[in-house]
Structure 1
Amino acid sequence: MSDECCESVRAESLTRIYHYLDGELTTTEIREISVHLEQCPSCHDEYEIEALLKELVRRSCSREEAPMGLREKIRQRIATEQTVWPGAGA
C-alpha cells in the first residue's frame, strides 16, 4: 500500500485511529484497522504518535501535577491538528 493511501481521507483515518485507541470499535472494525495499520506506513506512524501521546497523558494524569511543558505540547498538537483539519475546532 502507498504511503499516500489515506491522504484524501486523513480526517476519517485519524478518527478511526482515535476510536481504535479508545477501544470504541467492533471486533470487525478492530480487525480491519489492525490489518490496515500493518500495511500502511503513513497510518501506522499516526497510530504510533497518538498511542504515545495517549500514554503520556495517562501517566501524567496519575500524578497531581502535569510535567513541565506538557500543557504547551498538547496546545501545540491541538493547533497543528486544527491547521491540518480546518474547521476541526468548530
Structure 2
Amino acid sequence: MSDCGCDKARRDLEEYLRNEICKTEHADIRAHLENCPGCRDEAHVATTLTEVVARACKETAPEELRDQVIARLRAVQSGTH
C-alpha cells in the first residue's frame, strides 16, 4: 500500500467515511489519514458534521412549537394572517 496523497484523500473522503470505496483505496486513504494531520482534521470535521446532522434529524420539535407552527400555517391558508 502507498500513500495516496492529499488530493486523492480529500476527493474520496466522503465515500471513504461512508465505507463506499473499494478495500484497496480504503486502506490507502486510511494510511494517508494516519500520516497527514491536515487531511485527518478534515475527516474529523466531516465525521462530526455528519453526526450532528444525523442527531438533529432524530430530534422532534417541542409540542408547543409544533402547535404554534400548525396554527400559523392554518391562519395563512385561511387568509386570516
Query: TM-score range, shorter-chain basis?
Result: 0.5 to 0.7
Are 1:18 and 2:14 an aligned pair? yes
**Between Structure 1 and Structure 2, which shows a larger proportion of helix residues?**
2
* 4+ aligned runs moved over 4 Å, structure 1: none
| 1:57 has 2:53 as partner | yes
Is 1:44 aligned to residue 40 of structure 2?
A: yes
> Which of 24, 31, 39 is residue 28 of structure 1 equivalent to?
24
- Segments of 5+ residues of structure 2 without an aligned counterpart are 62-81
Gapped regions of structure 1 (runs ≥ 5)? 66-90
Between structure 1 and structure 2, the one with the greater Rg is 2
Which secondary structure does the structure 2 equivalent of 1:54 belong to?
helix
Aligned residue pair count: 57
Tell me the percent identity: 35
Using the TM superposition, give the Cα deviation of residue 13 of structure 1 relative to its aligned residue in structure 2, in angstroms. 3.5
How far the C-alpha of 1:17 sits from its partner, in A, is 0.9
Give TM-score scaled by structure 2 length.
0.61
TM-score, length of structure 1 as denominator length? 0.56
